[in-house]
Amino acid sequence: MIIQSNLVPTRGARQAVAAYLVVFGAVLLLMMVLGLLMRLNQGGLVTLPAEFFYQSMTVHGTGMVGVAGVGGAAVLWYFLGRHVRLTTWVFVLNLLTFVVGAGMIMAADFIGGFAAAWTFLFPLPAKAGGQWEPWAAAVHLGGLLLIGTGFLLFHLDTVRAILGRYGSLTRALGWPSLFGSDPEPPPPTVVASTMVAIANTLGLVFGASVLVISLVNLMVPQFAIDAMVAKNMIYFFGHVFINATIYMAVIAVYELLPEYTGRPWKPNRPFLAAWTMSTILVLAAYPHHLLMDFGMPRWLLILGQILSYVSGLPILVVTAFGALMIVYRSGLRWDLPAGLLFIGVFGWAAGVIPAIIDATIIVNSVMHNTLWVPGHFHSYLLLGQVGMLLGFASWLGRAAGARMPSRFGIAAFWIFVAGGIGLTQSFLYSGHASVPRRFAEYLPEWIGQARIGALSAALVILGTTMLMARLVAGSGPAGGAR
Ligand code: HEM
Ligand SMILES: [Cu+2]
C-alpha cells in the first residue's frame, strides 16, 4: 500500500475549500462579537435586555460549535482529498445546508425570540412560558436538523471514499499494523478521518432523532419522550460533535508539520492504538455532562468519570509527543501558520486539564454550573481548535500568495493569543470564585472579572480580524487557494 499518494485537488475543490474558509471567518467573527456583547453586559459596560442576552447565548453557543465543525470539515476534506477520491458536490452541499441552517437559527432566535441555549432540552422548546412561539422553536430545531443532515452526508461521503481505497474501516484505522505486522499503516489523516466519521455519524444520528422527536412534540404535544432520555441523546450528540471538531482540526498538524520539517509522520503502534481507543472512549465518556443529574444510574456516572479521564488523553499524548519528535532538531523555521498550529495544540492540551478536574463527580457538583466550564471549553476551542484552523487558513493563504509585512502577522498572532489567554483565564478565575454560568445579571463582586474578559474578548476579535485581513488582502481571487 502506498503511504503518501498526493492526489491533486481540482480547481472546484480548491474553490470549495476557500468558500468554507470565507464562511468560517465571517460567522466566527460575528459569533465573537456576540460573545463580547455578553461579556460587556456581564461587566455592566453595556445593558442588554435580558431576552437578548439569552438569545445571543443561544446563537453564540450553537453557532460557534457549528462553525468549528465547518472549519474542521474544511481541514479534513482538504487533506483527506490527498489520499482518497472525495465528492465535491457533497462537500459544497454541507456548506449550503450550514448557511441556510445558520440563517434559520438566527431568525428563530433574534426575531422569534427562541433562547433555550444550544442544549434545547426537552420539553423547554415547547414550554417557553410566553418567551417565544412554537414556530420559533420549530425553525431553530429545523435549522439544526438541516445542519446535522449536511454533516451526516459529508461524513458518509468520506466513508465511501475511504472504503473505496482501503476496503474496510478497520484497515483504515490501521488495525493490520496495530495487531498484525503490516509495515505500511494508512496515513494519520485517513486514521483520524475514519475515527471522526464513525463517532460523528453515531452522534449525528442520535442528535437528529431527538430533534425530530422534539419537532413532532411541538406539533403534537401528546407525543413526548422521557426528559432524561432526551437529555442523554442531546449530550451524546453535542459531546461527540464538539470533540470531533478537534479531531478534524488536528489533521492540519499531521499534514503540515511534515511539510515544514521534511519528516514524514508515519503512524506507529501507540498512535494507531490511541485513535482506535478514542473511537470508543469518546462515545462512552459523554455522561460527564450529566454528573449533576440524580435521576441517572450511578454506575453510568462513575463510568463517565473514569472514561473521561482517559478518553481524550491518548490522542493528545500521541499528537503532542509526535509533534515534538518531528520538530525536535528539525531546523523548523517558525512562521505564522506554524505558530498558530503550535498554539492550537497548546490550547487543546491546556483546556483538557480543567476538563478532567470538572469530570470528577465531587468537584463537578460544585463547579459544573460555574464559569469554570466555559473556561475549559473556551481554552480548547478558542485557543486550541480555532487556533489550529487559523493556522491552516494562513498556511493556505500563504500558498495562495498572501504576503503582508511579517510584523503585522506577528502582532496579530500575539494579540489573538493574549486575548485568548485573558478571556479563558477570566472564565476560569470566575469559576473558581463560584460565579455561575449563563447569568445575564451580575452581582457587583463578579463584575471586575467580566470586564477583564470583555477587554480580552476585544483583543481576540482584533487579532482574529487582523489574521483574516491578512489573508483577504494578500490572496488573489477566491480560486487562488492552492
Ligand atoms: C472572542 C471570543 C469569544 C468570546 C468573547 C466568548 C464569550 C462567551 C460568553 C460570554 C459566553 C457565556 C458564558 C456564560 O455566562 O455562561 C460564552 C458561551 C459559550 N461559548 Fe463563547 N466566546 C468566544 C469564543 C468561542 C468559541 C471560539 C467557541 C467555540 C468554538 C465558543 C463556544 C461557546 C459555547 C458552546 C458557549 C456555551 C453557551 C451556553 O452556555 O449555552 N465561544 N462565550
Ligand atoms: Cu463532553
Residue 162 pLDDT greater than 70, yes or no: yes
Residues with CB under 5 A from ligand 2 (ion): 239
Strand, helix or coil for residue 370: strand
From the CA of 461, give the closest atom in ligand 1: 1
State residue 5's pLDDT score. Answer: 59
In the predicted model, what is the mean pLDDT of the chain? Answer: 93
State residue 477's pLDDT score. Answer: 43
What domains are defined for the chain?
11-480 (1.20.210.10)
- Give me ligand 1 centre to Cα 15, in Å: 30
Query: What region, left, alpha or beta, does residue 14 occupy, with left being phi > 0 and alpha being psi -120 to 50 degrees?
Result: alpha
- Report the residue among 57, 60, 438, 446 best suited for mutation to probe ligand 1: largest number of ligand atoms under 8 A from its CB: 60
Residue nearest to atom 20 of ligand 1 (CA): 61
Residue nearest to atom 8 of ligand 1 (CA): 35
Is residue 309 very low, low, confident or very high in pLDDT (cuts 50, 70, 90)?
confident
Q: What is the rounded radius of gyration, in angstroms, for the C-alpha atoms of the chain? A: 22
Residue 466 pLDDT greater than 60, yes or no: yes
Residue 296 pLDDT greater than 70, yes or no: yes
**Distance between CA atoms of 173 and 175, rounded to whole angstroms?**
6
State residue 106's pLDDT score. Answer: 98
104 Cβ contact partners less than 8 Å away, ≥ 6 residues apart: 139, 140, 142, 143, 146
Residue 4 pLDDT greater than 60, yes or no: no
- Give me ligand 1 centre to Cα 265, in Å: 34
- Report the residue among 27, 29, 64 best suited for mutation to probe ligand 1: largest number of ligand atoms under 8 A from its CB: 64
State residue 481's pLDDT score. Answer: 34
Q: Which of 43-47, 250-254, 366-370, 389-393 has the lowest mean pLDDT?
A: 366-370
Alpha helices in 285-371 (DSSP H): 298-311, 313-327, 336-358, 361-367
pLDDT over 70, % of the chain:
96
Residue 480 pLDDT greater than 60, yes or no: no
- Give me ligand 2 centre to Cα 308, in Å: 8
Taking residues 153-161, what's their average pLDDT? Answer: 98
Taking residues 301-329, what's their average pLDDT? Answer: 87
State residue 475's pLDDT score. Answer: 54
229 Cβ contact partners less than 8 Å away, ≥ 6 residues apart: none
From the CA of 58, give the closest atom in ligand 1: 41
Is residue 474 very low, low, confident or very high in pLDDT (cuts 50, 70, 90)?
low
Residue nearest to atom 7 of ligand 1 (CA): 35
Strand, helix or coil for residue 436: strand
Is residue 404 very low, low, confident or very high in pLDDT (cuts 50, 70, 90)?
low
Ligand 1 site residues, Cβ closer than 6 angstroms: 32, 35-36, 38-39, 57, 60-61, 64-65, 68, 117-118, 374, 378, 381-382, 385-386, 423, 437-439, 457, 460-461
